[in-house]
Chains A and B, each alone.
Chain A
Amino acid sequence: MKYQKELVVFKKEKLNPACFLLELKSEEPLCEILPGQFVNILVKGVAERLLRRPISIHDVDYKTNIISLVVQKAGLATEKLSLINEGDKLDVVFPLGNSFPTEENHPLLIGGGVGTAPLYYLAKTYYNKGIKPTVLIGARTEDQLFLIDKYKTVADVYFSTEDGSIGEKGLVTTNSIMNGSFSAILTCGPTPMMKSVADVAAKKQIPCFVSLENRMACGIGACLCCVTDTKSEGNVCVCTNGAVFDSKELCNM
């Protein structure tokens, strides 16, 4: 079941020059939300951006009925969204999409840039099952990281930065943690990063699940705008068959 609800902006916090945290509170109890699912937010008042903005779910708190998001200012709609005030309401459709696998016994989670956002809820899900996952975060510099202490409460966290300002210098794929043995890699970030991560996983002969960010119009499988080409079924909707896919299924991974 999907819902369209007015959620209240409970908290808005600047995380770094590009990203901000949004905590959205529901009046009613939240439905079950899976790690890797996303919301579709209506950002009003931008004539060039009529469509909703898909944003991954960063965290869910069923006690307070709060869904947290991390949003990067990427263009007109996200800039406008960054101007919203605490107490304002947002029209949100959720939860959308499938889920990252949550049954791995030794997963490596790799995030790049704002793609790290959904990995918190994923790591927490594993942690609550008694499996402390490994999280590897890639960024250009330390300034671009966010909420690191929070990630450290549920995972062993490692970093790769292009300038070496934190963790190892270089790309995530050259981080020494990649030499460890894992049952699967679960990743979200820029497409080139996910591609090279998928290559490494293939060499290690372990599964790799990637979360795609295709352009969407409806988010519910009705318009067929968001498709990705798959080996077994041809074009499938990222919003309903994904956003998480086994990298081996994707033609362009």
Chain B
Amino acid sequence: MDKRLNTTVGSLKLKNPLLTASGTFGFGTEYEDFIDLNSLGGFIVKGTTGEKREGNPYPRLAETPSGMINAVGLQNKGVEYFCNNIYPQIKDKNPNIIVNVSGSSIEEYCKVASLINDLPSIPAIELNISCPNVKKGGMGFGVNKDMAKEVITEVRKVYKKHLIVKLTPNVTNIIEIAQAAELAGADSLSLINTILAMAVDAEKQKPLISTITGGLSGPAIKPIALRCVWQVSHNVNIPVIGIGGIMNARDVVEFMLVGASAVEIGTANFINPSVCTQIIKDLSDYCDRHKLNSITELIGKI
């Protein structure tokens, strides 16, 4: 292990800045044939809701220039299933397993957060106030600073460990939402979630996904994500986790330079299931070339 890659996000100690993004890494175990889960800084599991959800109808995926649009719609078996069936299987695989928490009401968010709070091997939750796929909830909370504040305040009352709030880019002023989240008690912020987008089949003259609009991810969104991380990290006093189109070590460095203390790898895992192993190695090479004693020297240089 290369100690130069150690970083922290508030109370979370990561052996390197790599987390994997919710919804792109299953429960981690799907990737075990390709990657040592314990080599990651941490991993973030699928979006979890109060009750089981079927998600949206197929087709849920369209490929677009340098990216993809998804409309999975939070398909998951619910928080109780996670606690009873998934958690026991994964709890020892990495010290930083984080659960992505979603809901369509404040009560639902609080229910999920409080049940996860009781799991000793989960040091943090990532509150998804930003998923653009679910018609009720998700989107609603993250685009309005008062609603964001309300849900975070309530979750803060029941959740005692590290609280990451994940922000949507689909807003007029992301700084305003970030500051509201900080005030309401977030310990850190992660951004960005997918960007609301659309793809059309010209031959069939129809939308390519069942919900018509969905969330854009992949390299196409990286410039927007960098801009958001830069804006937010310079306007809050809590750590920021950068997400959006990260494909390689150079992208990780870019996000750290604009203020990220750690990053999440999403769509890249689909393209290369062992991409994180490669990135970790390449970050060490970067430290060599730039004579860094710690990768954290990069954070917020720009």
Contact = CB atoms under 8 A, between A and B. Distances in A.
B58 A229 contact: yes
Contact of A4 (B23, B34, B46, B57): B34
Contacts of A1: 33
B61 A93 contact: no
Given A50-B218, A222-B25, A222-B30, A227 B55 contact: yes
B24 interface: yes
A221 to B, nearest CB: 5
B60 to A, nearest CB: 5
B273 interface: yes
Contacts of A91: 272
A225 B54 CA distance: 12
Contacts of B67: 50
Contacts of B2: none
A235 B55 contact: yes
B70 interface: yes
B219 A220 contact: no
Chain B interface helix/strand/loop/mixed = loop
B26 A234 contact: no
B271 A42 contact: yes
Contact of A218 (B57, B64, B269): B269
Interface string B54-75: 1101111111111110101001
Interface in B1-54: 23-26, 30-31, 33-34, 46, 54
Contact of A52 (B23, B33, B54, B271): B271
Interface residues of B, number: 35
A50 B62 CA distance: 11
Nearest to B62: A215
A51 interface: yes
Contacts of A234: 54
The binding surface of chain A is classed by DSSP as: loop
Nearest to B46: A224
Contact of A51 (B33, B46, B63): B63
B150 to A, nearest CB: 29
A120 B75 CA distance: 36
Nearest to B268: A50
A111 to B, nearest CB: 23
Given A47-B66, A215-B61, A52 B270 contact: yes
Interface in A183-241: 214-218, 220-229, 234-235
B231 interface: no
A220 B63 contact: no
B66 A50 contact: yes
A32 interface: no
Contact of A220 (B58, B64, B68, B273): B273
A222 B61 contact: no
B121 interface: no
Q: Which 3 A-B pairs have the closest CB atoms?
A: A222-B26, A225-B61, A222-B30
Given A52-B271, A224-B46, 15 more contacts: A1-B33, A2-B33, A50-B63, A50-B219, A51-B63, A51-B68, A51-B270, A51-B271, A93-B273, A214-B58, A215-B60, A218-B30, A225-B60, A227-B55, A227-B75
